[in-house]
Amino acid sequence: MADTPGIIRRIRNEIGDMQSPVLDTFLGADELASYDLSETGVADVSAKVTTTEPAATIDLVPDIDYVLDSAEGRIVLINPAYSPLHHGQTLIVRGVSTGLFTDVDLEQYIGDAVKQHAYGRSLTTRYRDAHGFIRYDHKPIGLENLPAIEEPLVAYLAAINCLWTLATDAATDIDISTAEGTFVPRTQRYRQLMQHIGDATTGLQGRYNALAQQLNVGLGRIEMFTARRVSRTTNRLVPVFVEREYDDSSMPKRLLPPIDGEEYADESNVASPAYPGLWG
């Protein structure tokens, strides 16, 4: 079973988005109830207030004692006992700076990466049911049953999607040139991101493609399809069923492959002289 926190750590290492601890201390002066933290994008925050007379430490409860703006890195005290923070009181805030992406953001990227990487694949398990018949269980591959050797590939694919997000943000930057001769190449950030993402053979994308091809996984894997035949007597497609093992006693499962050519459909609404099931 793939470990989501482990994949998140891999992604942060790949894109250089490491978390850092946050510790801020604010002294009360009967003036402020809102305080800016030293970092933006904070998570896993715990806050407490210490008093000198009497000496005590009080753990604050979110949404009851304070409100946290995680993205802006701001804490607002809402309990009248600490709002504003009085003389002799000290507010201590601990947390983690999430960097460019929060864990929730990375979990979404991981979900997208798993869907793309494991699309159309399933794990087959052979077992004997209560009646003694041999059965086969086909379970789609997800994060819970992803082979351990493919865990780095999911991390690479999620990291590529993260870098595309950063590249989209950097795409709006323009170079700055002043009359005094100052030149700031802001578009260089976009170019470096695109070089790191790479293409089919270079960068992080090429790294993923090379490993995926060796394991024959991902959207670019080699697949085997069954060609559909049209009956010459009825001009209808012959049914296609899922191939089964010789000892599989389960009911046949019908396949419905897509049919191209809908753009050539007749829209005249003129009835066709055909009888379903006989010809045409």
Mean pLDDT of 28-52: 90
Higher-pLDDT residue of 234, 36: 36
Q: How far is CA 71 from CA 36, 41, 97, 102, 206, in A?
A: 11, 4, 10, 10, 34
DSSP 207: H
* Side chain identity, residue 54: P
Q: What is the pTM of this model?
A: 0.75
Question: pLDDT at residue 160 above 90?
Answer: yes
Task: Assign 111 a pLDDT band (cuts: 50, 70, 90).
Answer: very high
65-89 tens-digit pLDDT:
999 998 889 999 999 888 899 888 9
Check residue 257 and give its pLDDT: 80
Q: What is the pLDDT of residues 113-150, one digit of tens each?
A: 999 999 989 888 888 888 888 888 888 999 999 999 99
pLDDT of 278 reads 52
